[in-house]
Amino acid sequence: MSNKSATASSLLPDNIAALAAYSSAKSEKLSGTTWLNANESPYAKNLELSIEDLNRYPDPQPQLVIERYAAYTQLDNENVLMTRGADEGIELLVRTYCEPAKDSIALFLPTYGMYKVTADTHNVTINALTQALLLNGSVEEIVTAVASAKLVFICNPNNPTGSLTPLDKVKAIASALAGKALVIVDEAYIEFCPEQSATALISQYSNVVVLRTLSKAFALAGLRTGFTLAQESVLAPIRKVIAPYPVSGVVASIAAQAIAPDAITSMRRQVTILNTLKAKLIDWLEASDCVLKILTGEGNFVTLKLADRNYFKTALAQGLVMRAFTLYGEDDWLRISIGSEQELEQVKIWLDGLQMPAATASLAGKEVS
């Protein structure tokens, strides 16, 4: 090791040296022709772009985007903060409200990995609870388990399980934690079940924060645009912490078009199609002996347990890329994003071509939850 690299390593805080970075679907560097691994929308946007003032700094919070998103969520402009994806919202909340080496956050595993990575990055302790507690435990049990955590993250619908925490339960948790913790409801997939949104709670509870994104149903994963929604008293300190110019003029222009009233109508129509295709995919999976368990819930994906982990390699050999991962301590789980009808046909071809190995042939049925 050179002296230069040794010096650099010695400068690292212990929590960063030990940090396990988030592994995104795109970081796996797989090759294929059908991509159903990142919960992206199959619908490409046709947008107009005419930017002539890139020599000028952009509006830190572009007014038209804020106004349109506030109208879409039925909130006031002051309740909306535009960020670089919902991920920046997570980071800003931890950085603003948590003191390193002192405070903690609570999350319910398995869930979205960036909550943990962000907390680890800022040397904030993680109170790792379970989805089972969140879904089946009483509000009193949940609040007791949350203990002194400053932030409580509820991914709703949850990634990767698709489970949904009832809105009444979110409300009760927020009420019980008033003055003690912020309850952050990550609604990256809420457009697939909009009636379950917690945005209506924001006017009632100063400790409710909702995270949103344009990456999923709005089909703009490549734009990296999200929103943090909360009462102004919550957002005010975050506005002090956020970078001076977090949103480029190009991004603002595209985002404004994407959330115009006619574009929202189009998005809702696409969501209806994707939900219908998801139901068809679940039917195929239920009919396959090569699938042992299906986690049915909300969102533009289906998570399932394979009878043989090698089935994933078979899919890759066919150019079909899905998300393989370890869940509940088992490495034979797969998440399939809902793509176009043509893309899902490739899943059907893959399923139909699989042969169940003798070792698992005796397993009795599969469980759907």
Smallest Cα–Cα separation from 228: which of 39, 113, 73, 104?
Answer: 73
Please report the pLDDT score of residue 89 as a whole number. 98
Q: Is the pLDDT of residue 363 over 70?
A: no
Q: What's the pLDDT tens digit per position in 16-54?
A: 788 777 665 555 667 788 999 999 999 988 877 777 788
Residue 358 binned pLDDT confidence (cut-offs 50, 70, 90): very low
- Are 297 and 158 a contacting pair, CB within 8 Å? yes
- Are 191 and 40 a contacting pair, CB within 8 Å? no
Q: What is the mean pLDDT of the chain?
A: 92
Smallest Cα–Cα separation from 307: which of 241, 366, 233?
Answer: 366
Those residues whose C-beta lies under 8 Å from the C-beta of residue 16, and which sit 6 or more positions away, are 121
The beta-strand segments (E) located in 64-213 are 80-83, 104-109, 125-130, 151-155, 182-186, 208-213
Smallest Cα–Cα separation from 86: which of 187, 231, 218, 219?
Answer: 187
Q: What is the mean pLDDT of residues 67-71?
A: 98
Residue 359 binned pLDDT confidence (cut-offs 50, 70, 90): very low
Q: What's the pLDDT tens digit per position in 281-292?
A: 999 999 999 999
d(CA 323, CA 304): 10
Q: Residue 249's beta-bridge partner residues?
A: none
Domains of the chain: 3-41+266-368 (3.90.1150.10), 63-263 (3.40.640.10)
- Are 315 and 337 a contacting pair, CB within 8 Å? no
Please report the pLDDT score of residue 367 as a whole number. 59
Q: What is the mean pLDDT of residues 225-250?
A: 96
Residue 360 binned pLDDT confidence (cut-offs 50, 70, 90): very low
Please report the pLDDT score of residue 54 as a whole number. 85
Q: What's the pLDDT tens digit per position in 151-192?
A: 999 999 999 999 999 999 999 999 999 999 999 999 999 999
Those residues whose C-beta lies under 8 Å from the C-beta of residue 230, and which sit 6 or more positions away, are 79, 81, 202, 208, 209, 210
Residue 8 binned pLDDT confidence (cut-offs 50, 70, 90): confident
Alpha helices (H) along 191-260: 232-241, 249-258
Q: Is the pLDDT of residue 364 over 50?
A: no
Reported as type and span, the H/E element at residue 279 is helix 261-286
Q: Is the pLDDT of residue 369 over 60?
A: no
Which carries the bigger pLDDT value, residue 355 or residue 243?
Answer: 243
